[in-house]
Amino acid sequence: MATETERMLAGEPYDPSDPALAADRARARDLARRYDATSEAERDRRGRLLRELFDAVGEDPTVQPPVRCDYGYNVAVGDGFFANYGCVLLDSNPIEFGDRCLLGPGVHVYTPTHPIDPEERATGRERAEPVTVGDDVWIGGRAVLNPGVTVGDGAVIASGAVVTRDVPARVVVGGNPARVIREIE
């Protein structure tokens, strides 16, 4: 019989109130609080805490506090990753950022999703879908990436955009829901 963690990671309905998942979220909150309490002069300590919080961390990451995530162990960031202040990564499923990704302030990335049917939603069970961001992507401030989306290499997500479907490589998207505004030459 699969655990709730195994169900969550498989994209199956799971119970987020499961004690093991609650403990994992408490661990991530503790690590995020400790990270947020560091100063810019504590680069080594920040690096250690980020590597303890996230699943994989490339070379020379910058994450401006505060940062929030559900589990942390489902987040992977590539080389030269930069996240400005106040980013939220709800990682009930993998969130992967390629190399040289830039996140503006207040970017939110969501993997959990809830049932549309109200009776099913009332059970408290949810599902999660991965979010994948390619290399050299710039995500403007207050943009939101919804569960299951993939963003192609070199794309730009405009500030405030709400991404509800996959974004091709080398395009600029914006709006709610986000649509292609133009291609990047």
Active site (catalytic) residues = 114
SS3 for 142-153 is CCEECCCCEECC
